[in-house]
């Protein structure tokens, strides 16, 4: 089944060329089914690229998915045109009275800044608190996962000596968990960050489970016991060239950075990196949509139980 988006979203042409079924709003209105409502809070600077990456994965399932894109009102994007943002994105004030089956909170290149010093931190806390009562399951990515673990559980992030960048091997710890169904014993996905969380901090919380971890990249797939909070510390959604683009960008800025680990053949940055994580990413997002959104969310989203407001972490 298709993903449902605005008919002129730039990602549509790319996805249709990959045989991913994208349905304009006007066509979807003629179908007599309730699509899953997914809200994407896109914090990445390369917003159009991130839209395409996520829509590709959300569209590769038998479920019809209705997408809304969300931006921060308290932050001015320097890398995406105002026209694109005003045309395709909403602010929190425009969606806060709605309810959604799922929410995706992307990463952001702010991991070296203290959470409370990020210019949109207060707004993000408001959204994460709102999601407890207005979203059935929230999928956090990279810095978004660190922010969610800190806000909900007080789990700190730790600075690395150098950037963690590359494609890392992970082992599945809970093969019978719904999110891990169909996974091989080990899998690879990219990571790109300067900070991380520690397994021992996560295991102190009885409500959290580490489903997969990497010897080099640390805990990677984390879920709370209800499945309503999923935290992915890597970037399964990345394209083949994403790490390369980040590497060459950092070099052009004069940043002393290592070649991404296990990425370019023979560590030769002139060669095309192999894409070895696409099927893993597809399975991960399909499992989330199926087991923690489609099968678990109530048909009438108005029946989601409200929770008392969470006190903001200072």
199-232 pLDDT, tens digit per residue, is 999 999 999 999 999 999 999 999 999 999 999 9
The angle formed by the CA atoms of residues 103, 126 and 213, to the nearest 5 degrees, is 50
What's the whole-number mean pLDDT along residues 284-297?
Answer: 90
> In this model, does residue 3 exceed pLDDT 60?
no
- pLDDT, one tens digit per residue, over 117-153 is 999 999 999 999 999 999 999 999 999 999 999 999 9
Q: Is 235 a catalytic site residue?
A: yes
What's the whole-number mean pLDDT along residues 49-56?
Answer: 94
What's the whole-number mean pLDDT along residues 110-117?
Answer: 96
The answer to whether the beta carbons of residues 188 and 167 sit under 8 Å apart is yes
Task: Give dist(CA 170, CA 188) in Å, integer.
Answer: 6
> In this model, does residue 34 exceed pLDDT 90?
no
> In this model, does residue 236 exceed pLDDT 80?
yes
Kindly name the residue from 111, 209, 237, 246 that is annotated as catalytic.
237
Q: Is 142 a catalytic site residue?
A: yes
> In this model, does residue 254 exceed pLDDT 50?
yes
Residue 303's pLDDT is 73
* Phi, psi for 212 (deg, rounded to 5): -155, 145
Kindly name the residue from 140, 152, 170, 235 that is annotated as catalytic.
235
- Residue 211: partners with Cβ closer than 8 Å, 6 or more residues away: 172, 173, 174, 177, 179, 180, 221, 222, 223
Residue 28's pLDDT is 44
- pLDDT, one tens digit per residue, over 192-205 is 999 999 999 999 99
Neighbours of 193 (CB within 10 A): 22
Task: Give dist(CA 227, CA 206) in Å, integer.
Answer: 14
Residue 64's pLDDT is 85
> In this model, does residue 2 exceed pLDDT 70?
no
Task: Give dist(CA 119, CA 193) in Å, integer.
Answer: 19
Kindly name the residue from 142, 170, 177, 209 that is annotated as catalytic.
142
Is-above-0.85 flag for pTM?
Answer: yes
């Amino acid at each position: 089944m298709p993903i449902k988006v605005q008919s002129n979203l730039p990602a549509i042409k790319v996805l249709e060329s990959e045989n991913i079924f994208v349905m304009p709003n006007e066509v979807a209105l003629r179908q007599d089914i309730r699509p899953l409502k997914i809200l994407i809070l896109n914090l990445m600077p390369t917003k159009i690229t991130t839209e395409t990456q996520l829509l590709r994965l959300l569209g590769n399932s038998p479920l019809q998915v209705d997408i809304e894109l969300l931006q921060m009102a308290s932050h001015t994007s320097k890398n995406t045109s105002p026209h694109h943002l005003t045309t395709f994105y909403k602010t929190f004030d425009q969606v806060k009275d709605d309810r959604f089956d799922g929410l995706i909170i992307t990463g952001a290149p702010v991991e070296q800044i203290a959470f409370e010093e990020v210019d949109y931190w207060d707004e993000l806390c408001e959204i994460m608190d709102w999601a407890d009562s207005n979203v059935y399951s929230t999928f956090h990515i990279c810095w978004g996962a660190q922010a969610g673990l800190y806000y909900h559980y007080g789990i700190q992030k730790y600075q690395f000596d150098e950037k963690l960048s590359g494609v890392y091997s992970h082992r599945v710890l809970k093969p019978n968990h719904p999110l891990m169904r169909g996974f091989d014993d080990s899998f690879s996905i990219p990571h790109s960050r300067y900070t991380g969380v520690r397994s021992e901090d996560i295991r102190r919380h009885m409500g959290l489970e580490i489903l997969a971890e990497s010897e080099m990249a640390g805990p990677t797939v984390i879920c709370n016991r209800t499945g309503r909070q999923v935290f992915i510390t890597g970037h399964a959604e990345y394209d083949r060239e994403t790490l390369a683009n980040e590497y060459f960008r950092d070099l052009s800025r004069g940043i002393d950075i290592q070649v991404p680990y296990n990425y370019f053949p023979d560590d030769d940055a002139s060669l095309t990196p192999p894409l070895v994580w696409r099927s893993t990413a597809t399975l991960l997002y399909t499992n989330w949509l199926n087991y923690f959104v489609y099968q678990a969310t109530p048909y009438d989203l108005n029946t989601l139980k409200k929770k008392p407001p969470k006190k903001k972490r200072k």
